[in-house]
Structure 1
């Protein structure tokens, strides 16, 4: 698989040069004339940073995730919010995820080859947990993907695509294995882990939390399996924002949040009218954080999703709101998973009558409070909760809307949940709209169910690509994930 590894992994060489002397992002001094062997700590830093940089870049999260979640609407590049995929962005996203996967897999290979690292067991487990996260993002974005043969360097340059259902089963098994392997009493990374600084207990908590994410995603297609997994893992999952899995950027190039506007004002996006109107309707105190006032009149005003720049009814740009300054700050963290998501997963589980220790309303309110806490809201929370009460008979819409807000700015995860729950406003009215000026993909008038495979797969891995496309009903944006039954 050497050819495929070079295709996916060449950016890692650059990352190693940039980061070979740093076990943490703040250790940036290194003599480039001295050769540096690839060490697990360096590989971990590069994998975490590379994944977060692409997960939260303007090109991937902005033009894909935040659009498909309908958090933002395009200003200058309306085609993206009308579902025309930029193939360069799509290819970079696919490749970057596999780059990080190769780095993580290399950690395990190095430790297994050496056989004398007392921290190997915990290091390998941490790498395995991160691989589960990346693979889930990939399969939820594309459905069937190279998985079981994807990282076999030198053995297979045209890996088969695995079935999404089988991938999910393997990811669940893998997390169970890593949970068992993690041992807080044994050595771990002594540097290089920007997310948890090698804290084994925190990584175990994250693994249980990711089990909840995997399980709730399959709740409609495999409810018994989902119930079993959630009931077995909820007590050991995240309990507060103190457990959040976040990649903390330093605020200085090259280690600042990818969407930072410190060096230039980012004019690509306005917040969507969908987001603004709903948050205004429920007096959500997070709105001034999620969006800036429009320059023309200091009001927060969203742009209709997918409204063309040539539409005669569209106002001048100064009349619309850009995303909030915190979202564009250089120290905004990259988020892997947070406690509000866990709370809303458990609220849904309880609403489905599964045993998670507390009623759905309790977790629902915990999710809202934790999201407010994350964004620094300290007043008016009780009043807000009273205005958006939990309703058991409408749990899908009630939980769906609040979970959607709590996932901001995790565009990809919010998009996946939009597809899975197909939620509306709690009163039953539609929350989302089709692109205002029409979709550029007539097969997808409302929202894409997936990303199409990168164009390079059609030529570099043609046979496997075609089999994968046939298996999911065609390589189109309307082909659904296995778990998407709504």
Structure 2
């Protein structure tokens, strides 16, 4: 099943290769129709770029992630912000993540089969960490997915779907093994790694940080296991923005940030009133980074989430605000994970009375400060922090809203956290609204709990698909993740 997706696209994964470090991506402008030799560095670059290109494309991040996080509202394709799933976009997302997994698996296979690469141990561990990252996105998006049988090329084209709780358990065990295997004293990638340039210590730090992401997501499903994982990994996780894991895009085709307006105006999305109105209510200094003034000038103005282009009360397009110029920059990085997320994970862990070395208020403030630093915001930071104080009795809403703001523009991760925490404004009022309509209750915070499986699975992997659908309560947008308890 998964091999058929790979055959037509695998050659395209190897064209963005850096043979002497991140700086070499600056010098690459390859013909996308011409494949290169299949070697571990090529496979790594292809896997990293392929995954990031889809995670931050307008079709996947824009029409799915950023809508479900309710950061943006659609301009013309309003169905997407009314939770209609575009099946082409959905299938492309599924295929792209599995294609990257295939590349990483192939990398490990090549190293193991040759047995002559002194850097193989570190290279395989780095590939293994990336596989954990991708599998978590897949299972959080779809719930049960092919896992144990997914990458067996030529052996099983109709793989079974694994239970999400078992996938999580395996991902934690795998990540532990990869962290242990990483050895900064041994050779690593001397090219091909756009994220950390082969820096083993940085990859180890990321591994511990991804352990925190896995654990906090399961905090309400398996609280004791989550606590154990977080307490064992927090001290070695990211300590600041210098540790951030990002894919470095450059201002040269075809290596620009996927969702950029450097060559054409992007008209698909406006920022939502959900985002703008809340940020304005707290005088959040990041608002002018997250959004830009309307074309007609004046204050930043959001569009009500899901408001139809045919709505007679909707203002002309020039009256609404597009996402900020940095978000649409050709050099905006593809974010894998950043320190602000880590800080908010630890703040939540402390709020749950888990032992993470610091108290929740201090970690909460660190998360806000780190987010401001990430966006180069220096004005009014102290005033802002004072206006959004930590409240131990209301930690879920307080931490939830600030983490949501700090995750922008990581639409998928923000959507997952919206589902998991089910947070509101710290005041207790609803933050999110249902897609705009005069007949809808605006206090209903409905959002899809998952993506439905790609249509091809129903015919090409029918038996496994049917079993998976039954196991999660039906292949519908309402079937919840195992960790989604509220």
Interval of TM-score (by shorter of Structure 1 and Structure 2): over 0.9
Please say if residues 22 and 28 of structure 1, whose CA atoms lie closer than 8 Å, have aligned partners that are also in contact: no
Gaps of 5+ in 1: none
The reply on whether 1:374 has 2:385 as its aligned counterpart is no
3-state SS of paired residue (2:8) = helix
Structure 2 match to 1:123: 123
CA distance in structure 2 between the partners assigned to 1:392 and 1:5 by the alignment: 50
Structure 1 match to 2:272: 272
CA distance in structure 2 between the partners assigned to 1:71 and 1:13 by the alignment: 35
3-state SS of paired residue (1:26) = helix
Q: What is the CA distance between 1:446 and its match in structure 2?
A: 1.0
Structure 1 match to 2:137: 137
Structure 2 match to 1:386: 386
CA distance in structure 1 between the partners assigned to 2:331 and 2:15 by the alignment: 23
TM-score by length of 1: 0.96
CA separation of 1:34 and 1:379: change in aligned 2, threshold 3 A: closer
CA separation of 1:160 and 1:69: change in aligned 2, threshold 3 A: same
Please say if residues 12 and 32 of structure 2, whose CA atoms lie closer than 8 Å, have aligned partners that are also in contact: no
Structure 2 match to 1:11: 9
Structure 1 match to 2:260: 260
CA separation of 1:267 and 1:319: change in aligned 2, threshold 3 A: same
Please say if residues 141 and 451 of structure 1, whose CA atoms lie closer than 8 Å, have aligned partners that are also in contact: yes
Q: What is the CA distance between 1:129 and its match in structure 2?
A: 0.1
CA distance in structure 2 between the partners assigned to 1:227 and 1:339 by the alignment: 19
Query: After superposition, what is the alpha-carbon deviation per residue over 1:333-391, rounded to whole angstroms, capped at 9, x for unaligned?
Result: 00000000000000000000000000000000000000000000112111100000000
CA distance in structure 1 between the partners assigned to 2:158 and 2:34 by the alignment: 36
Query: After superposition, what is the alpha-carbon deviation per residue over 1:132-157, rounded to whole angstroms, capped at 9, x for unaligned?
Result: 00000000000000000000001000
Structure 1 match to 2:181: 181
CA separation of 1:203 and 1:85: change in aligned 2, threshold 3 A: same
3-state SS of paired residue (2:335) = strand
CA distance in structure 2 between the partners assigned to 1:160 and 1:196 by the alignment: 34
Structure 2 match to 1:282: 282
CA distance in structure 2 between the partners assigned to 1:298 and 1:9 by the alignment: 51
Structure 2 match to 1:229: 229
The reply on whether 1:352 has 2:352 as its aligned counterpart is yes
CA distance in structure 1 between the partners assigned to 2:279 and 2:254 by the alignment: 34
Q: What is the CA distance between 1:437 and its match in structure 2?
A: 2.5
Gaps of 5+ in 2: none
The reply on whether 1:153 has 2:153 as its aligned counterpart is yes
Query: After superposition, what is the alpha-carbon deviation per residue over 1:12-52, rounded to whole angstroms, capped at 9, x for unaligned?
Result: 21233564978642342779999853110000000000000
RMSD: 1.9
CA distance in structure 1 between the partners assigned to 2:97 and 2:33 by the alignment: 29
Q: What is the CA distance between 1:439 and its match in structure 2?
A: 10
Structure 1 match to 2:201: 201
CA distance in structure 2 between the partners assigned to 1:177 and 1:459 by the alignment: 37
Q: What is the CA distance between 1:10 and its match in structure 2?
A: 2.3
CA distance in structure 2 between the partners assigned to 1:233 and 1:296 by the alignment: 50
TM-score by length of 2: 0.96
3-state SS of paired residue (1:7) = helix
Please say if residues 90 and 454 of structure 1, whose CA atoms lie closer than 8 Å, have aligned partners that are also in contact: yes
Greater shift, 20-29 or 93-102, is seen at 20-29
Greater shift, 7-16 or 142-151, is seen at 7-16
CA distance in structure 2 between the partners assigned to 1:348 and 1:17 by the alignment: 41
CA separation of 1:279 and 1:20: change in aligned 2, threshold 3 A: closer
Q: Number of residues paired by the alignment?
A: 481
CA distance in structure 2 between the partners assigned to 1:424 and 1:445 by the alignment: 10
CA distance in structure 2 between the partners assigned to 1:34 and 1:97 by the alignment: 22
CA distance in structure 1 between the partners assigned to 2:188 and 2:392 by the alignment: 44
Structure 2 match to 1:332: 332
CA separation of 1:20 and 1:214: change in aligned 2, threshold 3 A: closer
Query: After superposition, what is the alpha-carbon deviation per residue over 1:298-326, rounded to whole angstroms, capped at 9, x for unaligned?
Result: 21000000011111111111111000000
Structure 2 match to 1:245: 245
Please say if residues 16 and 46 of structure 2, whose CA atoms lie closer than 8 Å, have aligned partners that are also in contact: no
CA distance in structure 1 between the partners assigned to 2:82 and 2:381 by the alignment: 36
Please say if residues 20 and 30 of structure 1, whose CA atoms lie closer than 8 Å, have aligned partners that are also in contact: no
Please say if residues 247 and 334 of structure 1, whose CA atoms lie closer than 8 Å, have aligned partners that are also in contact: yes
The reply on whether 1:68 has 2:68 as its aligned counterpart is yes
Please say if residues 306 and 438 of structure 1, whose CA atoms lie closer than 8 Å, have aligned partners that are also in contact: no
Query: After superposition, what is the alpha-carbon deviation per residue over 1:382-441, rounded to whole angstroms, capped at 9, x for unaligned?
Result: 11000000000000000000000000000000000000000000010000000012899x
After TM superposition, the runs of 4+ consecutive aligned structure 1 residues lying more than 4 A away are 17-24, 29-36
Please say if residues 257 and 330 of structure 2, whose CA atoms lie closer than 8 Å, have aligned partners that are also in contact: yes
